Amino acid sequence: MEIYDIIIQKSFYSALMVFVSFCIFSGMLLSYASIKFKVEIISAVEKIDGLLPQTQCGQCGYPGCRPYAEAIAVGDAINKCPPGGQITINALASFLDMSPPSLDNQYGFSTDIKTVALIREDECIGCTKCIQACPVDAILGAAKQMHTVIKKECTGCDLCIDPCPVDCIDMVSVEKNLSGYKWDQPQSIINSDRARDRFVYQIERKDKELASKSVIRNRRLASSKNDKMTSTTNNLLKEAMKQIEAKKSTPEADHARFLRRVARAKDQLHTAEKKLKELKVLTNDDKYKRAVASVESARIRLAAAQSSDLSKLKLNEHII
């Protein structure tokens, strides 16, 4: 019986060790697979983004080339980019090892002519709407001031056309020269990396502006709340003071003040008479004279208090 129990215990522990080892190995395998898969997705997004033209025009339905690259990496169609045209589609298909489809014309039509925005500056009213619409900050200007386009930074996305309320922006073609010549490769703007960097910088700048505006708004709200609380407190204090003054002007309050004045005058008279008794009767002594004067003054105050003759009481206090 004991041998049988030992065998059962050993079998149980062996099975437990095998099960724990299997769980550890499976966890390590899954962790490695998740890391490896994540690296592949990030690498694919970077490569796909590098093949896109970086116009940041949004014609594909995404707010920029990077979001579209992320969508392609998880299975979206590769034929939604009119600025890149068929050459970009072919490059994406080659990278993803698939047959290249034709450009989906519902997103726009491809053209080999590069265009940039041009503001007719004499007609510009300085509304800043085109500045807000530009995805790469290629427009200079300020409110109620003339705007102008930085030609080298413009990607030709056309996003500044519709917001303009006076229709003073035109899209003009750029003459081809040696600096703009490219071999058979995805059609993109010159210095596409720079356009990508400016697009990312603009997003970060807008996020900071929103955060700072939120902080300022919260401070103003807190200040307005403090002002309201202060005004409410002041109103409460004024109301309390009015109530106190109203209570002071009642007959009961006047009678109480009368009794306090009489009691105070009696105490002063009692104190003055006590000091006078302690001194020797010396008519030439200054202390004795002051004591006699204090007694007389206390008697006058008591009489004035008892008769409520406030004028006599104030006059006597002024003389003393």
Block residue for tokens 């009642």: 250
pLDDT of the residue at 77: 93
Neighbours of 301 (CB within 10 A): 23
Mean pLDDT of 271-299: 70
Residue at a domain's end among 106, 139, 174: 106
Block residue for tokens 């005004």: 231
CATH number at residue 117: 3.30.70.20
Region at 261 (left for phi over 0; alpha for psi -120 to 50; beta for the rest):
alpha
My answer on whether 132 and 95 are in the same domain is no
DSSP 8-state class, residue 78 = S
My answer on whether 168 and 187 are in the same domain is yes
pTM strictly above 0.75: no
pLDDT of the residue at 191: 56
Residue at a domain's end among 247, 275, 309: 247
What confidence category does residue 219 fall into, taking pLDDT thresholds of 50, 70 and 90? confident
Burial of 155: CB neighbours in 10 Å, binned 0-12, 13-18, 19+: buried
Q: What is the distance between the alpha carbons of residues 194 and 167, in angstroms, rounded to a whole number?
A: 28
Mean pLDDT of 225-246: 76
pLDDT of the residue at 90: 92
The model's pLDDT over 53-72, given as tens digits with 9 standing for 90+, comes to 888 999 999 989 999 999 99
pLDDT of the residue at 76: 92
My answer on whether 280 and 223 are in the same domain is no
CATH number at residue 8: 1.10.15.40
My answer on whether 81 and 49 are in the same domain is yes
Nearest partner of 304 among 250, 296, 270, judged by Cα: 296
**Which amino acid type is present at position 83?**
P
Biggest CA–CA distance in the chain, Å, is: 133
Q: What is the distance between the alpha carbons of residues 283 and 285, in angstroms, rounded to a whole number?
A: 6
- Structural domains counted in the chain: 4
Q: With contact defined as beta carbons under 8 Å apart, do 89 and 81 qualify? A: yes
My answer on whether 313 and 276 are in the same domain is yes
Q: 264: domain range?
A: 250-319
My answer on whether 48 and 136 are in the same domain is no
